[in-house]
């Protein structure tokens, strides 16, 4: 900016033209925002107002082209922008995450899809989230997060002046305390699993608390038998199939489309830094894994050409990745066989957290073992943590104010 120019920023990001004390004319054009959210404003100068006006108009045209701004007779709707945004972010999201984004947007944003993007107000977002929260508060929270990200991108590209999601009322999700399996139930499950060829799968679930995708994506190279360690680096995901036939309203399911895309199975790196972790393996579980590897090697030799080698620890009988629904069905059959409540497989992970906390393991250590990135998750285990806190208070009491009987 030239010295001696009285800089006046136009309201709402509009362009401004003014004459400076140096006798020249100066123009300022808002070009949107950086990825960090900072405003970008370009400066042009000239000897006459007409010259600067033409330069400002050229910058505004450049801004419209780069932001894909619609022409004056064609207003961009929220639905059109969300469809475009999904295309933009598809390459930066994992398949399962992208499928979740697509499902939430297309299942819940219908009432606002035809509304002009530039006219979406905070009240519109509030009403939408309120309707969704009536069915599922967690879906409303996830939808708000998605819309906030989509509209932030619209702001950075000059399509919106401000993001209405920034001031929307986000529904609260009550954190419920979990009642997982008891120690007696766990022993009954492991006893029933001892007769199965895949017993190590369920020992891993209860002793290490791996997520289902992490366990099914585990490879033999991830287990160090000499150091008694197991590394969690990847997870098995099953993305949804999508239509590839191009029909506007197909009468068949995406999985049965002759030109389907996506789907199948993929081994993805775990999403967060907290998820990438190395665990110490209990000695008896390590022995089970050794036996499981020997059994798998014998089965592989017997299968011959029918075996598909992927180096997976818990594959299908032919070596291919195990389908999560088949894995979950086997868990349900095991709980029925053990005579314990038929809780979902994910509750084995909650059981691991409960057992660790009940043994007095520090909460931060439990977070690291389970791959949590938020300490707030510990609030779901207050029924376990509170007795430990009381025990800690008793220890402090005895340390500072020992009774007469204490040494």
Residue 89, Ramachandran bin (φ over 0: left; ψ between -120 and 50: alpha; else beta): alpha
CA neighbor of 237 nearest in space, from 258, 264, 260: 264
Name the most confidently modeled range: 28-42, 44-58, 194-208, 235-249.
Answer: 194-208
Give the phi and the psi of residue 229 in degrees, each rounded to 5.
-130, 155
Strand partners, 219: 312
Domain ranges of the chain: 11-66, 78-167, 183-233+270-387, 234-264
Contact of 344 with 211, CB cutoff 8 Å: no
Dihedrals phi, psi of 360, to nearest 5 degrees: 85, 10
**pLDDT class of 377 with cuts at 50, 70, 90:** confident
- The pLDDT value recorded for residue 9 is 45
Q: What is the pLDDT of residues 139-174, one digit of tens each?
A: 999 999 999 999 999 988 888 888 999 999 988 877
DSSP readout, 351-378?
Answer: HHHHHHHHTT--HHHHHHHHT---GGGG
Can you give the pLDDT at residue 17?
Answer: 85
Q: Which tokens in the block code for residue 33?
A: 């925002």
Distances from the Cα of 288 to the Cαs of 31, 89, 194, 203, 360, in angstroms? 62, 43, 10, 8, 26
Q: 3-state DSSP call for residue 386?
A: helix
**pLDDT, the chain, mean:** 84
pLDDT of residue 256: 75
For the chain, the maximum distance between any two Cα atoms, rounded to a whole number of angstroms, is 95
Give the side-chain half-sphere CA count within 13 A for 209: 23
Report how far apart, in Å, the C-alpha atoms of 90 and of each of 77, 100, 103, 157 are: 20, 11, 13, 18
What local confidence, expressed as pLDDT, does residue 330 receive?
96
Written as six digits, the tokens of 129 are 């989230």
Residue 344 has pLDDT above 90, yes or no: yes
Give the confidence band of 343 by pLDDT, cuts at 50, 70, 90. Answer: very high
d(CA 2, CA 19): 11
More confident residue, 291 or 261: 291
Q: Report the alpha-carbon distance of residue 355 to residue 392 in Å, rounded.
A: 18
SS3 388: helix
pLDDT at 6: 45
The residue ranking higher by pLDDT, 283 or 173, is: 283
pLDDT exceeds 60 at position 128: yes
Q: Where does residue 140 rank: exposed (0-12), middle (13-18), buried (19+ CB within 10 A)?
A: buried
Q: What percent of the chain has a predicted confidence (pLDDT) above 90?
A: 43
pLDDT > 90? residue 291: yes
Asked if residue 274 has pLDDT above 90, the reply is no
Which fold does the domain 183-233+270-387 belong to in CATH?
hpI Integrase; Chain A (1.10.443)
At the topology level of CATH, where does 78-167 sit? DNA polymerase; domain 1 (1.10.150)
pLDDT above 50 (res 72): no
Cβ atoms within 10 Å of 211's Cβ, excluding its own: 20
Q: Which residues of 328-364 are buried (b: 16+ CB within 10 A; e: fewer)?
A: eebbeebbeebebeebebebbbbbbbbbbbeeeeebe
**317-322: which pairs have CB atoms within 8 A and are 24 or more residues apart?**
321/216, 321/217, 321/236, 321/265, 321/267, 322/216, 322/236
């Amino acid at each position: 900016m030239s010295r001696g120019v009285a800089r006046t920023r136009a309201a709402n990001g509009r362009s401004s033209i003014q004459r400076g004390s140096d006798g020249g004319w100066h123009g300022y054009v808002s070009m949107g925002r950086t990825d960090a959210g900072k405003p970008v404003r370009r400066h042009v100068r000239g000897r006459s107002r007409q010259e600067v006006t033409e330069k400002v108009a050229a910058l505004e045209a450049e801004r419209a082209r780069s932001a894909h701004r619609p022409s004056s007779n064609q207003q961009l709707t929220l639905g059109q922008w969300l469809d475009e945004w999904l295309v933009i972010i598809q390459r930066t999201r994992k398949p399962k995450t992208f499928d979740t984004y697509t499902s939430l947007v297309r299942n819940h944003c219908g009432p606002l899809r035809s509304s002009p993007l530039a006219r979406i107000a905070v009240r519109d977002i509030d009403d939408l989230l309120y309707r969704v929260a009536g069915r599922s508060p967690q879906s409303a929270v996830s939808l708000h997060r998605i819309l906030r990200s989509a509209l932030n991108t619209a702001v950075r590209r000059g399509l919106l002046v401000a993001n209405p999601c920034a001031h929307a009322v986000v529904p609260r999700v009550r954190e419920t305390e979990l009642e997982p399996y008891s120690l007696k139930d766990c022993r009954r499950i492991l006893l029933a699993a001892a007769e199965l060829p895949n017993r190590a799968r369920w020992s891993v679930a209860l002793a290490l608390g791996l997520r289902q995708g992490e366990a099914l994506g585990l490879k033999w190279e991830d287990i160090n038998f000499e150091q008694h360690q197991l590394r969690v680096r990847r997870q098995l995901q099953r993305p949804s199939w999508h239509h590839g036939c191009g029909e506007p309203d197909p009468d068949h399911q995406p999985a049965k489309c002759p030109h389907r895309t996506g789907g199948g199975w993929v081994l993805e790196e775990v999403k967060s830094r907290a998820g990438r972790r190395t665990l110490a393996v209990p000695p008896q579980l390590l022995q089970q894994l050794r036996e499981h590897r020997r059994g798998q090697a014998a089965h592989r030799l017997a299968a011959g050409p029918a075996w598909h080698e992927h180096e997976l620890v818990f594959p299908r009988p032919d070596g291919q990745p195990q389908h999560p629904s088949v894995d979950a069905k086997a868990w349900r059959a095991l709980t029925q066989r053990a005579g314990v409540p038929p809780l979902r497989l994910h509750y084995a992970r909650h059981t691991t957290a409960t057992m660790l906390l009940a043994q007095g393991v520090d909460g931060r250590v439990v977070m690291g073992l389970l791959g949590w990135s938020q300490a707030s998750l510990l609030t779901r285990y207050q029924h376990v943590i509170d007795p430990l806190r009381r025990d800690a208070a008793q220890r402090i009491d005895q340390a500072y104010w020992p009774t007469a009987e204490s040494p």
